[in-house]
């Protein structure tokens, strides 16, 4: 994870992880089309590392399955994330990491909106507008330093745990 | 209800297509995008409606090319890039070459446009500024003004169809109009158009330059009208300056951000490209009040592309022919009936 001189939130609340997804027989059947659901999207982003702590977004309750909405028919996905503190300067970076991860993993047909959970950040409108501006997101992703930081946040930490 | 038919699907770009620009003669257009290339497409002959990719310009920019623009004379092509520079291409040697690079912006250049008079070029950037370049001599461009009127990222610059008047749209939700002050030849902002609730992505003038249409992240189109001092409608014109007023808001048609708008100078139709993958065409209603005009949607192609449609442009010579570009990496030519 990226190192900061000073931690903004030194003692964040840490929550338990969700268990593994239960795979149904229908999902194992190759003849049945599985639609994307909120749990699937959650599984894609839960292990993103927080830029400040060696903890996942799930463990910090930055992302939660209940704050993800998937509308398969309309190719619409809405992900709300909750910064650990209302003045978190990392909010845009966290949102970008979620966007990039979903951009890489989901089919291109999906329109993904990543927004701060209402009322949880004091600059939520500014953060949301920036995350929704695909031109600025595209420019940010061409920034080699930034994309390195984002890739570090996204990279699976299974190697460290194992 | 009119119809919009696909003429050709052109899939040469790798990565999203950001912009397309018609050559003023209407036989050629240029496209650009994420793959850092400019592709120039031409017709074999006047009767044929098929375009072929004749030229690829690959060595001008180090990052995404956001916009391309032909000069009014058709001899020059400008390209604006996220690499902070603008390149000017011409064919004087027989082949397209970059013979001038305009530097100065601190951040990504988002848009570039040539004035109809051929005297000026404008660029704008995420650094919040609009630059006016005066075309001094062959391959020589002098910075005539750095305009810091916007408070955020400037998305688009477009010149008036006949005069040296520039319009810009910004992430600060406003549109600004600029012209040269005749007393001291300084460039000034003479109007700020307030009304959009989010980013203004693009703008297009009508053929006379008395109206302007804007499109926004607030999912609306707005039509703005010029009111000169002493206008019979009684619209106030403080300090003897013309006023610009929003006379029409088209809401409820677009389901997502509207990325581009093009007002045809041949047919007066307005085409839009949208983040909901659709292309729409609007026509002004006959006999409507010029101070409160109404427009009707005459075409909506829901899945015109398989992803966001970033750009749309009417052919300046051949009526009813459009070109569009999308995140789906495809350029399409279309014909409306």
For B235-297, the three-class secondary structure string (H helix, E strand, C coil) is CCCHHHCCEEEEEEEECCCCCCCEEEEEECCCCCCEEEEECCCCEEEEEECCCCCCCCCCEEE
Contacts of A108 (CB under 8 A, 6+ apart): B306, B307, B327, B328
**B chain contacts of residue A136, beta-carbon cutoff 8 Å:** 126, 153
Out of A111, A133, A138, the one facing B64 most closely (by C-beta) is A138
pLDDT band at A3 (very low <50, low <70, confident <90, very high): very low
The distance from CA A102 to its chain's CA centroid, rounded to whole angstroms, is: 8
Q: How many residues does chain B have?
A: 337
> How high is the ipTM of this complex?
0.95
How close, in Å, is residue B34 to chain A by CA atoms?
9
**B chain contacts of residue A132, beta-carbon cutoff 8 Å:** 217, 257
Three-class SS state of A9 = coil
Regions in chain B scoring below 70 on pLDDT: 1, 46-47
Give the model's pLDDT for residue B178.
Answer: 98
Q: How far apart are the first and last CA of chain B?
A: 9
**Contact check, Cβ <8 Å, A109/B64:** no
Task: Find the chain B residues whose C-beta atoms sit closer than 8 A to any C-beta of A.
Answer: 16, 34, 63-64, 66, 82, 108, 110, 126, 153, 155, 171, 198-199, 217, 256-257, 275, 306-308, 327-328
Alpha-carbon distance of A159 to B133, in angstroms, equals 54
How close, in Å, is residue A108 to chain B by CA atoms?
7
Q: Beta strands B51-57 and B38-43: pairing type?
A: antiparallel
How close, in Å, is residue A61 to chain B by CA atoms?
29
Residue B240 DSSP symbol: G
Q: Could you tell me what percent of chain A has a pLDDT over 70?
A: 91
**Contact check, Cβ <8 Å, A108/B308:** no
Give the model's pLDDT for residue A157.
Answer: 57
| Whether residue A5 has pLDDT greater than 60 | no
Give the model's pLDDT for residue A52.
Answer: 85
Give the model's pLDDT for residue A23.
Answer: 77
Nearest chain A Cα to B306, which residue? A109
Using left for φ > 0, alpha for ψ between -120 and 50, and beta otherwise, residue B139 falls in left
Give the Å distances, CA to CA, from B244 to B79, B106, B213.
Answer: 30, 31, 12
Query: Which residues face B299 on adjacent strands?
Result: B281
| Whether residue A162 has pLDDT greater than 60 | no
pLDDT digits (tens, 9 = 90+) for A127-161: 999 999 999 999 999 999 999 999 999 986 544 44
Give the model's pLDDT for residue A8.
Answer: 77
**B chain contacts of residue A108, beta-carbon cutoff 8 Å:** 306-307, 327-328
**B chain contacts of residue A146, beta-carbon cutoff 8 Å:** none
How many Å is the Cα radius of gyration of chain B?
19
Helix A124-132 × helix A134-141 angle, to 10° = 80
**A chain contacts of residue B302, beta-carbon cutoff 8 Å:** none
**B chain contacts of residue A134, beta-carbon cutoff 8 Å:** 308
Out of A109, A132, A142, the one facing B82 most closely (by C-beta) is A142
Give the model's pLDDT for residue A1.
Answer: 37
Asked if B30 and B68 count as a contact pair (C-beta separation under 8 A), the reply is: yes
Give the model's pLDDT for residue A20.
Answer: 78
How many Å is the Cα radius of gyration of chain A?
16
Q: Which two tokens stand for residue B307?
A: 């992803």
How close, in Å, is residue B138 to chain A by CA atoms?
32
**Contact check, Cβ <8 Å, A136/B153:** yes
Give the model's pLDDT for residue A15.
Answer: 83
Alpha-carbon distance of B156 to B285, in angstroms, equals 28
pLDDT digits (tens, 9 = 90+) for A13-45: 888 888 777 777 777 888 777 789 999 999 999
**Contact check, Cβ <8 Å, B307/A109:** yes
Which H or E run contains A41? helix A38-45
The residue of A76, A103, A135, A142 whose CB has the most chain B CBs within 10 angstroms, and thus the best one to mutate to test that interface, is A135
Give the Å distances, CA to CA, from B175 to B129, B149, B335.
Answer: 13, 10, 31
Give the model's pLDDT for residue B49.
Answer: 74
CB pairs under 8 A between A and B: 35
Q: How far apart are the first and last CA of chain A?
A: 17
**Contact check, Cβ <8 Å, A142/B63:** yes
Asked if B96 and B40 count as a contact pair (C-beta separation under 8 A), the reply is: yes
């Amino acid at each position: 994870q990226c190192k900061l001189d000073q931690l903004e939130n030194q003692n964040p609340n840490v929550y338990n992880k969700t268990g593994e997804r239960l795979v149904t027989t229908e999902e194992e059947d190759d003849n049945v089309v599985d639609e994307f659901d909120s749990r699937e999207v959650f599984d894609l982003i839960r292990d993103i590392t927080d830029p400040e702590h060696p903890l996942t977004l799930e463990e910090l309750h930055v992302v939660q399955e209940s704050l993800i909405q998937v509308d398969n028919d309309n190719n619409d996905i809405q992900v709300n994330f909750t910064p650990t503190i209302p003045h978190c300067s990392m909010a845009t970076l966290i949102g970008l990491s979620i966007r990039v991860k979903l951009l890489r993993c989901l089919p291109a047909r999906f329109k993904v909106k990543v927004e701060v959970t209402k009322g949880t950040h004091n600059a939520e409108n500014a953060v949301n507008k920036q995350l929704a501006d695909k031109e600025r997101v595209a420019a940010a992703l061409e920034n080699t330093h930034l994309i390195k930081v984002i890739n570090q946040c996204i990279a699976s930490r299974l190697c460290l745990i194992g | 209800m009119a119809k919009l038919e696909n003429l050709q699907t052109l899939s040469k770009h790798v990565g999203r297509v950001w912009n397309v620009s018609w050559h003023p003669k209407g036989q050629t257009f240029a496209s650009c995008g994420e793959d850092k290339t400019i592709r120039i497409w031409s017709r074999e002959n006047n009767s044929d409606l098929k375009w072929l990719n004749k030229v690829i310009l690959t060595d001008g920019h180090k990052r995404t090319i956001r916009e391309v623009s032909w000069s009014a004379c058709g001899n020059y092509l400008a390209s604006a890039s996220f690499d902070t520079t603008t390149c000017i291409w011409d064919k004087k040697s027989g082949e397209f070459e970059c013979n001038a690079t305009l530097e100065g912006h601190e951040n990504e250049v988002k848009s570039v446009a040539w004035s109809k008079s051929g005297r000026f070029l404008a660029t704008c950037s995420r650094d919040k500024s609009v630059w006016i370049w005066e075309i001094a001599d062959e391959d020589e461009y002098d910075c005539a003004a750095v305009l810091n009127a916007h408070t955020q990222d400037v998305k688009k610059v477009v010149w008036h169809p006949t005069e040296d008047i520039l319009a810009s749209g910004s992430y600060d939700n406003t549109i600004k109009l600029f012209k040269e002050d005749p007393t001291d030849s300084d460039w000034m902002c003479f109007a700020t158009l307030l009304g959009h609730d989010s980013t203004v992505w693009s703008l297009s003038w009508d053929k006379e330059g008395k109206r302007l249409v804007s499109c926004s992240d607030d999912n609306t189109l707005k039509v703005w009208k010029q009111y000169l001092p002493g206008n019979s409608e009684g619209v106030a014109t403080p300090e003897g300056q013309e006023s610009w007023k929003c006379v029409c808001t088209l809401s409820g048609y677009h389901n997502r951000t509207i990325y581009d708008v093009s007002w045809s100078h041949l047919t007066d139709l307005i085409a839009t490209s949208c983040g909901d993958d659709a292309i729409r065409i609007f026509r002004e209603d006959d006999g409507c009040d010029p101070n409160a005009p109404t427009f009707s949607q005459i075409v909506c192609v829901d899945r015109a592309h398989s992803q966001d449609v970033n750009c749309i442009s009417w052919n300046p010579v051949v009526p009813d022919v459009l070109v569009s570009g999308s995140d789906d990496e495809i350029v399409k030519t279309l014909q409306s009936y």
